[in-house]
Amino acid sequence: MPIEVTRVYRSEDEAADETWIQRDFGYGTRLSYDIFLYSNSEISSAGTPVFTDAEISMPDGAMVECTRTDGYPSTDYVHAQFECASQPTGVWFKSTIAYNQTRPGWDVTRKDGTVYAFAEGGPLVSISDRFENFVTISRGGAMGTGCTHAIPANAIDTSRRQPGARSPSATTTPTSPT
């Protein structure tokens, strides 16, 4: 799973008091890992929150809309299941959002098996693919960032051919400097 860090500029990235928000690469910028979940119904409900919709907020400000598909009451978020069908040609089409009780939070699963895990009421914490490769995102301070890329030990072939060798059996295994 490749690590991709790209910067996105948002000209209207302001706080509620209309001041600019300082981000990782300066004012008005977002990283490719700045993906959040949002729910219009949860925010707009008075008293007991309801969960009838979910949106995936992308770094560039785009929203992927998802609708609830399970038969549970709208106040039950633990059994909530959402399907994203608002982007008929994109990678998020037919993605699902479900509450993860094992690690309290929400999982967005794309059709290709990629899982975006979100903290409960918080930002993206990890991305994993169907081959068990994953990236863990840790945030420090108010919203500072850090990133750890983890790969299963057997997924990397560290052998290489000796210079001038024609046979793949003539290999060396590099060692890490300590």
CA distance 41 to 74: 10
DSSP state at residue 14: B
Q: Is 170 a domain residue?
A: no
Q: Is 17 a domain residue?
A: yes
Q: Is 122 a domain residue?
A: yes
DSSP state at residue 20: B
pLDDT at 143 over 90: no
Element (H, E) at 171: strand 171-172
Is 32 or 94 the better-scoring residue by pLDDT?
94
Q: Is 159 a domain residue?
A: no
Domain span holding position 45 = 7-154
Q: Is 173 a domain residue?
A: no
Number of domains in the chain: 1
Q: Is 67 a domain residue?
A: yes
Please report the pLDDT score of residue 123 as a whole number: 86
Distance of CA 157 to the CA centre of its chain: 27
Q: Name the token pair of 175.
A: 């060692």
Please report the pLDDT score of residue 110 as a whole number: 95
Q: Taking the model in full, what pTM does it have?
A: 0.70
Q: Is 160 a domain residue?
A: no
Mean pLDDT for 22-46 is: 76
Please report the pLDDT score of residue 162 as a whole number: 47
Residue 65 pLDDT grade (very low, low, confident, very high; cuts 50, 70, 90)? very high
Phi/psi for 114 (5° steps) reads -70, 130
Q: Is 177 a domain residue?
A: no
